[in-house]
Amino acid sequence: MAVLEILTLPHPLLKQEAAPVEVFDDELRAFIADLEETRRAGPAAIGIAATQVGRLQRLLIIDLSSKPKIPNHGHLVLINPEITHWEGFELGREGCLSVPHYTGNVIRAERIKLKAQDPHGAPLEFEMQGFEARAVQHEVDHLDGLLFIDRVVSRRTDLFQRKVYQKAGG
Amino acid sequence: MSAWNMLALVGEDKPGIVAQVTDVLYRHGWNLGEASMMRLGGNFSIMMMVQGTGGKEVLRPLIEPVAQALGLRFHVFPIHGGLHRHLVPNIQVRVNGADRAGIVAKVTGALAQQGFNILELDSDVAGTPERPIYIMCIQGFAEATVEALQAAVDAAKDTDIQVDVSPIETFIG
**Cα Dmax for chain A:** 48
**Across the interface, which of B88, B122, B171 has its CB nearest the CB of A134?**
B171
CB < 8 Å to B172, chain A: 43-47, 94-97
**Minimal-distance CA residue of chain A relative to B122:** A156
CB < 8 Å to B171, chain A: 46-47, 92-95, 131, 134-135, 138
Q: Is the pLDDT of residue B82 over 60?
A: yes
Interface of B with A (CB under 8 A): 83-84, 86, 88-89, 120, 122, 139, 168-173
CB A106 within 8 A of CB A113: no
Q: Do B86 and A46 touch (CB under 8 A)?
A: no
Residue B54 pLDDT level (bands cut at 50, 70, 90): confident
Q: Is the pLDDT of residue A169 over 80?
A: no
Summarize pLDDT for A132-144 with one digit per residue, the tens: 999 999 999 999 9
Average pLDDT over residues A110-129: 98
CB < 8 Å to A104, chain B: none
Helix axes B146-156, B103-113, angle to 10 degrees: 140
- In B13-169, the DSSP E strands lie at 31-40, 43-51, 72-78, 91-98, 117-127, 132-141, 161-167
Q: How many CB atoms lie within 10 A of CB B72?
A: 22
Q: Is the pLDDT of residue A21 over 90?
A: yes
CB A143 within 8 A of CB A79: no
**Minimal-distance CA residue of chain A relative to B85:** A101
pLDDT of residue B98: 86
Among residues B168, B147, B166, B151, the alpha carbon closest in space to that of B94 is found at B166
CB A90 within 8 A of CB A137: no
Taking the C-alpha atoms of residue B59 and residue A120, their distance in angstroms, rounded to an integer, is: 63
- What is the end-to-end Cα distance of chain A in Å, rounded? 39
Summarize pLDDT for B117-135 with one digit per residue, the tens: 999 999 999 889 899 999 9
Would you call A34 helix, strand, or coil by DSSP? helix
Arithmetic mean of pLDDT over chain B:
93
CA distance A40 to chain B (A): 11
pLDDT of residue A168: 54
pLDDT of residue A158: 59
pLDDT of residue B153: 96
CA distance A26 to chain B (A): 25
Q: Is the pLDDT of residue B71 over 60?
A: yes
Q: Is the pLDDT of residue A33 over 70?
A: yes
Q: Is the pLDDT of residue A159 over 70?
A: no
Residue A163 pLDDT level (bands cut at 50, 70, 90): very low
Taking the C-alpha atoms of residue A22 and residue A153, their distance in angstroms, rounded to an integer, is: 36
Q: What ipTM was predicted for this assembly?
A: 0.84
pLDDT of residue A2: 93
**Across the interface, which of B89, B120, B172 has its CB nearest the CB of A44?**
B172
The b/e string for B130-167 (b: 16+ C-beta within 10 A; e otherwise) is eeeebbbbbbbebebebeebbebbeebbeeebebebee
Least confident of A56-65, B67-76, B122-131, B136-145: B122-131
pTM reported for the whole predicted model: 0.85
Q: Is the pLDDT of residue B142 over 60?
A: yes
The residues with which B135 forms a beta bridge, in sequence order, are B96, B124
**Minimal-distance CA residue of chain B relative to A104:** B170
Average pLDDT over residues A120-145: 98
Average pLDDT over residues B62-83: 95
Residue B62 pLDDT level (bands cut at 50, 70, 90): very high
Q: Do A96 and B173 touch (CB under 8 A)?
A: yes
A139 in active site = yes
**Minimal-distance CA residue of chain A relative to B84:** A101
